[in-house]
Structure 1
Amino acid sequence: MTGRPPLRISVVVPAWDEEDRLPRCLASLAAQTRLPDEVVVVDNASGDGTARVAAAAGARVVHEAQRGIWPAAAAGYDAATGDVIARVDADTVLPPGWLARVEALLADDPGCAAVTGPGRFRLGAVGGLGSALVHLLYMRAYFVLAGLALGGPPVFGSACAVRAAAWRTARHEVHREADVHDDLDLSFHLPPGSVRYDAGLAVSISARPLRSPRGLGRRVARGWRSVVLHWPEQAPWRAPGRRAAWWRGQAAPSAPPR
């Protein structure tokens, strides 16, 4: 990174009724070896003290009245002032070197539009074998299946960072009003082959997605809708850029989550 100007990093945290989980996330950001240049917490019409908790921790609070992850995330991305926009969720806990790794990866590869890593569920009493199985069935499945659908790695919303310039291009194309996964939707609107998966960007996340079979089913259905919405024009076998990225060996299976 010698000779290059430092990257300014904004961290965006969409939050709806997260006053209990948000403090741990913000504390992990404050403990980074490379501190964020700003933290933007998007209060998504919360009915609790989310905004108060965020402000007390020194975050800049943005209010988004329209409920939903895409309106909240997009409001945060639009408000961010950094060269890089890192996105984590309110239940994300980051290891101390996470932002430093983001900065190094992006600074060393100017053609990379985004970097991402996996989430590791906090499963409490579940043993090592159980944790490995859950990770295989949920996290690995996401990266492999979404990677096949995209022709390259997707970003994972709880642990990703996107160049602000890439967001400014994609912001006019993403489906803010549709019932889609915002991270998968954004992945379809980033340049083919420009997302880098790095296992060193793993973060800790809560097991909320696993607690309700019905909720898990809704997530899977939303993911499928996200793919079907884009495939008429952006399937790997139809979009020349994605097809080229696939043949260059940049598809998800070349970098399997660990």
Structure 2
Amino acid sequence: MPQAHGTRPAGPSLSVVIPVLDDAAALAECLALLARQTRPADEVIVVDNGCSDSSLQVALAAGARVVAEPRRGIPAAAAAGYDAAAGEVIVRCDADTRPPEDWLARISAAFGEDPGLDALTGPGRFYDLPRPVAWLASAAYSSGYRFGAGAALAGVPVWGSNFAIRRTAWQRCAAGIHRHRAGIHDDLDLSFQLAPWANVRFDRQLRVGAAGRMFSDAGAFARRFGWAFATLKLNWAVQSAGQRWLERATGRRPALRRT
């Protein structure tokens, strides 16, 4: 979304990337919230992953730039958006993400104040679950992902509904991601490419709302766990968790097993 009269806010330029597949109603709400940011995005990129509903019309009506990625899957769609982004910092969310008004301002300030920051991520709250369940599910998921995935990759994992990465960091690790592999978590896969060399920070104040779709039925929950194990297996085949922690502790890269 270009700034009025050719002006742009101070700090690094921001490109927001949203992969979408038939999620018009949620996308419309997300784009409306992005339009109300105290620090507007320099561009919003909606990646069309084969939409058959009105998602593209919603995106264009909101002033977003549409990028097509015909290969199905969030890994391919997200990577296509990152490749197309012109901003110094690439911000990622999902169509059902609900960012507060200061979300982009916090991201811009963090990267502007720390030139060595490669990526930033934060937690979320499931807004469509009953209140007591939402609080428990949000805390359990955020803590479980942060510490469980962190132990697996020897670093701080980024979460796809709420993270930002410096474009130079993306360019450094883009070749290593598995963008054409279906059935994996794109954010966890990216986290493996970032760790342990990148400076990734978790900011507990960088909160967003997120849909609790994974809790909708047992099948959805099991499917996400299956993707997690597939992502771990894929990346551990290249470098095990032990090798990663050794590299982080010693600064020396052990011999890797290539697949």
Out of 205, 211, 214, which is 2:216 matched to?
211
Q: Which position in structure 1 is the counterpart of 2:256?
A: none
Q: Would the alpha carbon gap of residues 242 and 231 (structure 1) be closer, same or farther in structure 2, given more than 3 Å must change? A: farther
Describe how 1:87-106 pairs up with structure 2 within 5 A.
87-106=92-111
Partners of 2:96 and 2:211 within 8 A in 1: yes
What runs of 5+ residues in structure 2 fail to find an aligned partner?
1-9, 252-259
Partner SS state of residue 42, structure 1? strand
How far apart, in 2, do the equivalents of 1:144 and 1:244 lie? 21
TM value normalised by structure 1 = 0.88
2:31 equivalent to 1:26: yes
How far 1:118 moved relative to its partner? 1.1
AA of the residue aligned to 2:248: R
2:140 equivalent to 1:137: yes
2:181 equivalent to 1:181: no
Partners of 2:11 and 2:109 within 8 A in 1: no
2:162 equivalent to 1:162: no
How far apart, in 2, do the equivalents of 1:242 and 1:23 lie? 42
How many residue pairs get aligned? The number is 239
Q: CA RMSD in A?
A: 1.6
How far 1:10 moved relative to its partner? 0.2
Partner SS state of residue 21, structure 1? helix
What runs of 5+ residues in structure 1 fail to find an aligned partner?
246-258
Partners of 1:237 and 1:243 within 8 A in 2: no
Question: Kindly, what percent of the aligned residue pairs are identical?
Answer: 45
How far 1:113 moved relative to its partner? 0.8
Partners of 2:14 and 2:43 within 8 A in 1: yes
How far apart, in 1, do the equivalents of 2:131 and 2:46 lie? 33
Q: Which position in structure 2 is the counterpart of 1:249?
A: none
Partner SS state of residue 104, structure 2? helix
Q: Which position in structure 1 is the counterpart of 2:114?
A: 109
Partner SS state of residue 7, structure 1? coil
**1:62-99 CA-partner distances (Å, limit 9, x unpaired):** 11111110111011111110000000000001001111
AA of the residue aligned to 1:177: H
Greater Cα offset, 38-47 or 172-181: 172-181
Q: Would the alpha carbon gap of residues 241 and 28 (structure 1) be closer, same or farther in structure 2, given more than 3 Å must change? A: farther
Partner SS state of residue 199, structure 1? coil
How far apart, in 2, do the equivalents of 1:111 and 1:237 lie? 26
How far apart, in 2, do the equivalents of 1:244 and 1:84 lie? 30
How far 1:244 moved relative to its partner? 4.9
AA of the residue aligned to 2:249: R
How far apart, in 2, do the equivalents of 1:131 and 1:172 lie? 37
AA of the residue aligned to 1:183: D
TM value normalised by structure 2 = 0.88
Q: Which position in structure 1 is the counterpart of 2:7?
A: none
Partners of 2:155 and 2:195 within 8 A in 1: no
